[in-house]
Structure 1
Amino acid sequence: MNYLPLAGIAIVVAGFALRFNPLLVVVTAALATGVLAGLDLVAVIEALGKAFNDNRYISVTWIILPVIGLLERYGLQQRARAVIEGIRGATMGKLLTIYLLFRQITAALGLTSLGGHPQTVRPLVAPMAEAAAEKSHGALADEDREKVKAMSAATDNVGLFFGEDIFFAIASILLIQGVFESYGYPLTPLQLSVWAIPTAICAFIIHGWRIRSLDRRLGRAGA
């Protein structure tokens, strides 16, 4: 047997031990493995290029996060707060309830990436909720401010978790279908999705009540 291609493993171990650039180490190991296995160098590079092209969506995250960071650095959160401060009658309860409804509906349509903690909650929803709470109840104590941030994050979680199961092509529905089928209960994804609707409605009502309860507690604390 030809053990030379295993030299790629040694290159990875040595490169990481010497703290070389991880990307350089991995690419070097891949090239060495391919060449030592008898492949043409051009063929190895083509294989690397094809793998990168097929999985290029993985790199999108590394583009989005710096963009969000730059937007925050140049005042995105401040602008979000200013927008809410300029809306008459805006309250934290109304804002987060609307966002909960938006998150559930879009998740039910399969648009699960329209929201999220890094791209929506931190730069937009949480600052807007804080501004609405301060507009209604005055300056917030540090503890209350953290509660508003936590409720903003929880609203995103609840909306996504109970909304996405209505979309029958989501992975969670297929997992549930597989479990039921293994126990002798053949159900279609559409049947499971339909029965997820009452759960989503209950989640909206319960979490909406939690949002309004926090808003009322902040009002009593401000008074």
Structure 2
Amino acid sequence: MTDLNLLPLSGIAIVVLGFALRFNPLLVVTAAGIVTGWAVDMNFLALIETFGEKFMNSRQLASFLLILPVIALLERYGLQQRAQSWIASIKSATTARILSVYFVVRECSSALGLLSLAGQPQTVRPLLAPMALGAATNLHGELPKEVKDMISAHAAACDNIAMFFGEDIFIAFGAVLLMDAFLKENGITGIEPLHIGLWAIPTAIAALLVHLFRLARLEAKISREIAFYKSQPQTRLTEELS
């Protein structure tokens, strides 16, 4: 019986120990990769080449991670406040109109494969939600917390729903290719990714119409919630004191 070589698993131990001791994650993962390569007698130059190859293959992920600290710095220096004040200066802007325009743009861009053009961390939280809140504040004055949460939830839903139904139209999207491979593996031929993308268009249009209808009713719902809030002076006073 051949002896089991456990040395290649030493990299896992380094990852666990490094994260437990709260070391820099990048250094921990790099050290684990080097140790694992050494454990399997991998040439050092080949190991460095592998590191470079994997980094280049995942450079899109790296660029996405770099966006997050940039967004955090912009928020720290008043990005949300500037977005709210800018929308407040536009008298014709309403929450429903802003969210509707974003939904259309997001679904169309997702259909073209531009999934990273917008998103929850880089667009919804720092820009879309503050703009929608600013429009509502401009029309109704100070908003109660329940209304703010409802508007923020609708902003997040716009991004999720628009991308979910729009991305299926893009024929190079992973889910489309997965469906194509599944059909071929089960003997269903004659269906190409283009066909799947074309049949996703009616669903995307239906989702667009349904959600635009929901957003059209949002303004009336906001007005009802605020009217109810103002009719409860004792509740409002208790919330303000808390």
TM-score (norm 1): 0.88
Give structure 2 stretches of 5+ with no counterpart. Answer: 228-242
TM superposition shift of 1:209:
1.2
Preserved contact between residue 95 and residue 135 of structure 2 (Cα < 8 Å): yes
1:213 aligns with 2:206: no
The answer to whether residue 78 in structure 2 is matched with residue 71 in structure 1 is: no
1 CA distance for matches of 2:191 and 2:218? 40
Determine if the alignment matches structure 1 residue 118 to structure 2 residue 121. Answer: yes
SS at match of 1:90: coil
**1:160 corresponds to which letter in structure 2?**
M
| 201-210 or 26-35, which deviates more | 26-35
Identical-pair percentage: 41
Instruction: Assess if the C-alpha contact under 8 Å between 1:93 and 1:211 holds in 2.
Output: yes
- Residue 10 of structure 1 corresponds to 10
Cα displacement (A) at 1:8: 4.5
Q: Residues 99 and 14 of structure 1: is their aligned pair in 2 closer, same or farther, counting only changes over 3 Å?
A: closer
* 1:87-102 to 2 correspondences below 5 Å: 87-102=90-105
Give the total of aligned pairs. Answer: 222
Q: Which runs of 5 or more residues in structure 1 are unaligned? A: none
Inter-partner Cα distance in structure 2 for 1:11 and 1:93: 52
> Does the CA contact (< 8 Å) of 1:96 and 1:152 recur in 2?
yes
* Structure 1 Cα separation of the partners of residues 112 and 128 of structure 2: 21
Structure 1, 68-77 or 80-89: larger mean CA deviation: 80-89
Deviates more, 1:125-134 or 1:160-169: 160-169
CA RMSD of aligned residues (A): 2.3
Query: Could you say if the C-alpha distance between residues 186 and 216 of structure 1 is closer, same or farther in structure 2, counting changes exceeding 3 Å?
Result: same
1:16–1:25: 8 Å Cα contact kept in structure 2? Answer: no
- What is the match of residue 203 of structure 2? 199
Instruction: Give the CA deviation at 1:220.
Output: 2.8
Larger deviation, residues 181-190 vs 113-122: 181-190
After alignment, is 7-16 or 91-100 more displaced?
A: 7-16
- C-alpha distance in 1 between matches for 2:74 and 2:17: 37
Equivalent residue in structure 2 for 1:104, among 77, 102, 107: 107
Distance (Å, rounded) in 1 between the aligned partners of 2:145 and 2:225: 12
Match for residue 158 of structure 2? 155
With over 3 angstroms needed to count, the CA separation of the structure-2 counterparts of 1:61 and 1:146, relative to structure 1, is same
Seen in structure 2, the aligned counterparts of structure 1 residues 174 and 32 have a Cα distance that, compared at 3 Å, is closer
What letter corresponds to residue 151 of structure 2 in structure 1? V
Question: Partners in 2 of 1:179 and 1:16 — Cα distance?
Answer: 37
**Do the aligned residues in 2 keep the contact of 1:106 with 1:114 (CA within 8 Å)?**
yes
1: CA distance, partners of 2:65 / 2:169: 30
Equivalent residues in 2 for 1:176-187, closer than 5 Å = 176-181=179-184, 182=186, 184=188, 186-187=190-191
Q: CA deviation at 1:11?
A: 5.2
Aligned residue for 2:191, secondary structure, equals coil
Would the alpha carbon gap of residues 16 and 174 (structure 1) be closer, same or farther in structure 2, given more than 3 Å must change? closer
- Residue aligning to 1:127: 130
User: For structure 1, which segment, 8-17 or 60-69, has the greater mean C-alpha deviation from structure 2 after superposition?
Assistant: 8-17
CA distance in 2, matches of 1:139, 1:195: 45
